[in-house]
Amino acid sequence: MDRPAARRTPTTSSPRRAAWAGRLRAPPVFFGALAILAAAVLGTPRAAASPILPAPAIEMPADGSFHLDAQSVIAAPAGDGQALASARYLADLVARTRGLKLKVVEGEPPAEVAAIVLRRGRRLGEAYLLDVTPRAIVIQSSGDAGLFYGAVSAWQLAASPAGKGAVDIPGLHVEDAPRFAWRGLMLDSARNFQSPAFVEAFIDRMARAKLNVLQWHLADDQGWRLEIRKYPRLTQVGAWRVPAGPAAAADIDRKTGQPRRIGGFYTQDQVRQIVAYAAQRHVTIVPEIEMPGHAQAAIAAYPDLGSAPRPPAGASSDWGVHPYLYNVDEKTFGFLEDVLTEVMELFPSRYIHIGGDEAVKVQWKADPAVQARMRELWIGDEDALQGWFIGRIGTFLAAHGRRLVGWDEILLGGVAPGATVMSWRGLDGAIIAAKLGHDTVAAPQPIYYFDNRQGAGPDEPPGRGRLVGLKDVYDFEPVPAILTPLERPHVLGVQAQLWSEHIRTEDRVSRAAFPRALAVAETGWSPAARKDWAGFTGRLDAELGRERALGETYGTWPEPPPPAIGLARSRASQQLTLCTAKIALNLEDDAPVAGPRARFLVDIMNPCWIWPAADLAGVTRIEAAVGQLPFNFQIGDDIKKVILRPPASPAGELEVRQDRCDGPVIASLSLAPALKSQAVTRLRGPLAPTPPGLHDLCFTFTQGGVDPLWVIDRVSLAPPVEEARRGR
């Protein structure tokens, strides 16, 4: 039956015509299965890319276009709850982006009605077919997830280009299926807490990118975020802390008369709601309960769990690797099994993540009870004890039909039977795991650690100092070439991490995650041969338009050109060069407690900055805005390696040296004025005459101990009055 002619002419509402198709139109005969296969394998002839992101496995332009307007309907099989849910999800997205409120109908719509039709069949699981024809957009999959992903792709077509009202969607044939089963993000809600509403919105964004695993980091030294009914002190004690530093200590809560605590936790009801919300979007939440390390918050709540003679006073306000480990008493395993039992009741995920990373064994080595147990069990060292510990937990999980997943340190003392290894220290863990016959997920730092900075500008949110741009993330290939064809399937997929030490606010989580998570999504979903940076960035424009239409935020993209600071007389710390980058961080000031705070790029092991080739002609004064931060970094014995320079006066100085960091001091500004302020303080002083020509300036602080960590905010040379007034 022909479609009514009226549908074929543009309506008076001037629907936008998507520009992304038709650059290369293949003859109809080309669409044989063999040709499609050839195109997929050989990547040629290339069809113009649709705005679907991640790129579908196979897509081909088709004749005509589909006219979507307010009269269009979305149809799903009658009584098919999952298909109808995906139809409603699509309708909601179309309404929020195009402003078209489409009706969702059950059963096949009449032929004369322009419809987006969800049908069962033809593809399994997450795979789907999608055909855009003048008559209809048809999505086919026998899988609930496949229908959902088809609906997401249909929305991406409908919402591109961005704008309101009707739109003509060019003809298209899509055959799509994911490359990997595990396409994940990890959200650290332990270091900084995010609201349930934010977590749900985050899941929504994941689902729209066809990401399907949210690893939820719920317990760490700095916070225990999950209500456990049998152990209420975990959240009563473990979910709250006073931030580090005197500013927070001085911020008295009027109700308690004590310093204000930050934190929070998720009640079991909230968790059940979030898990259900995620399940509707085909996102599995893999809960993570850290053991045997990263356990300070839990041990603060229940000191008997620990292995140290003196239990911690509370959850930590420090970052880094803490020494507190669970002990190996039977009662402690009882506690862990109780906790995991409640966790398994809340989270239907087949995988349960037990952490396993960064467990330094100092306390176990010193604990006579641990040592006695090792002898009893004929276990030769503490790494092997951790292997036994994790193996025992893995056996417990397996007895309940679950599988253990852990960070790659679980390889060290003997990987637990059936355990999946999350490879974070590069891909070595993935290689070892796969070669030992274990499954693995590629989650390597630094590329997949999204607390690393995306950009080098002074306005970049706080984070680790290393630059990990979108292209770095996009170009990463997760399957190591050394794996054999039989070993490669052990790489289940990819996962990017949002560690939140330096990501204090929800908006910053969004900006750290996106757009980089979209590059992960494409790596996780699209066939390796389909990846193409230029094509991705083109589709990214459409994607970010859709996200803006939904009111979402993301990190700066495209990356701005680096500002021309060569001749500038004032530079922020991010515009200086770090002398070293041992532990480079882009840190936020701890003060003021409320309102905007300064950000400082600093190597905490060596606070030292260089202004290369400064033009000092006529410069007689120097002005420096400096901050002071609590040194709340647990770096073990490395604390002895922090470079300290002896002070000339009790307050210490900011020293400026000429040409080299051991060169002559040409300015020395006392820190005395800065001692009085927790926030940024301006210091001014004369600059000694220097020989003609350009000079490197080296900035360092003198002080007697690591705390406070003095940092450069901004330095200015002979600043004109108006520049000084304008501030940073």
Residues that bind its own copies (CB under 8 A): 377-381, 383-384, 387-388, 391-392, 394-395, 398, 411-417, 428, 431-432, 435-436, 480, 482
**Known catalytic residue at 358:** yes
Whether 490 sits among the annotated catalytic residues: the reply is no
State how far the Cα of 78 lies from the Cα of 107, in Å rounded to an integer.
Answer: 5
**How far is 699 from 1, CA to CA, in rounded Å?**
78
What end-to-end distance do the CA atoms of the chain give, in Å? Answer: 68
Q: In angstroms, what is the minimal distance from the CB of 305 to its own copies?
A: 18
Task: Please report, for residues 220, 300, 396, 556, the alpha-carbon distance to residue 305 in angstroms, rounded to integers and kept in the order given.
Answer: 14, 9, 19, 44
Alpha carbon of residue 191 to chain centroid: 13
**Closest distance between its own copies and the C-beta of residue 531, in Å?**
23
Q: Report, in Å, the least distance between residue 380 CB and its own copies.
A: 4
Identify the active-site residue in 67, 173, 282, 294.
Answer: 294
If the CB atoms of residues 274 and 415 are measured against its own copies, the closer one turns out to be 415
* Nearest-approach distance from CB 386 to its own copies, in angstroms: 10
- At 13, which amino acid appears? S
State residue 612 phi and psi, 5-degree precision.
Answer: -75, 140
**168, 16 in Cβ contact below 8 A?**
yes
Q: Which is nearer to its own copies, 582 or 645 (CB)?
A: 582
CB of 384 to its own copies, least distance (A): 6
Residue 16's alpha-carbon distances to 28, 48, 249, 501, in angstroms, are 26, 18, 57, 44
The residues, ordered by sequence, that sit 6+ positions from 70 with a Cβ below 8 Å of its Cβ are 100, 101, 102, 166
* Closer residue to its own copies in complex, CB, 391/515: 391
Q: Which two tokens stand for residue 382?
A: 């503490």
Q: Cα–Cα–Cα angle for 290, 293, 294, nearest 5°?
A: 65
| List 59, 220, 451, 522, catalytic entry | 220
The number of C-alpha atoms within 13 Å of 348 and in the hemisphere containing its C-beta is: 11
Q: Least separation, in Å, of the C-beta of 390 and its own copies?
A: 10
Which residue in this structure is represented by tokens 């038709």? 22
Closer to its own copies by CB, 45 or 417: give it. 417
499: left (phi over 0), alpha (psi -120 to 50) or beta: beta
Name the residue with tokens 């490669």: 488
Nearest approach in angstroms of CB 135 to its own copies is: 53
- Helix, strand or coil for residue 216? strand
Q: How many CA atoms lie within 13 A of 113 on its CB side?
A: 17
Q: Which CB atom, from 379 or from 715, has the smaller least distance to its own copies?
A: 379
Q: Which residue number, 196 or 426, has a Cβ lying nearer to its own copies?
A: 426
Q: Which CB atom, from 344 or from 549, has the smaller least distance to its own copies?
A: 344
Q: Which is nearer to its own copies, 249 or 436 (CB)?
A: 436
Tally Cβ neighbours within 10 Å of residue 507.
Answer: 12
**Residue 542 in contact with residue 153, Cβ under 8 Å?**
no
Minimum distance from residue 529 beta carbon to its own copies (Å): 23
Coil/strand/helix, residue 139: strand
Q: Considering the complex, what minimum distance in angstroms separates the CB of residue 397 from its own copies?
A: 10
Q: Which is nearer to its own copies, 168 or 409 (CB)?
A: 409
Rounded Cα–Cα distance for residues 403 and 421 (Å): 11
Q: Which of 317, 248, 319, 293 lies closest to 633, judged by CA?
A: 319
Strand pairing class (681-686; 653-658): unpaired
Q: What is the residue type of 499?
A: W
| 400 belongs to the catalytic site | no
Nearest approach in angstroms of CB 416 to its own copies is 6
Q: What distance in Å separates the CA atoms of residue 299 and residue 367, rounded to the nearest whole number?
A: 15
Q: Which amino acid is at 535?
A: G
H-helix segments, 458-505: 470-475
For the chain, state the CA radius of gyration. Answer: 29
Backbone angles phi, psi at 21, to 5 degrees: -120, 170
Percent of the chain as helix, strand, coil, to the nearest 5: 30, 25, 45
| 21: nearest Cα among 174, 154, 170 | 170
- Residue from 69, 329, 358, 707 carrying the catalytic annotation: 358
Choose between 376 and 662: whose C-beta lies nearer to its own copies: 376
Closer residue to its own copies, CB minimum distance, 398 or 643:
398
* Minimum distance from residue 415 beta carbon to its own copies (Å): 7
Both tokens assigned to 359: 């467990």
Q: So which residues are the catalytic ones? A: 220, 294, 358
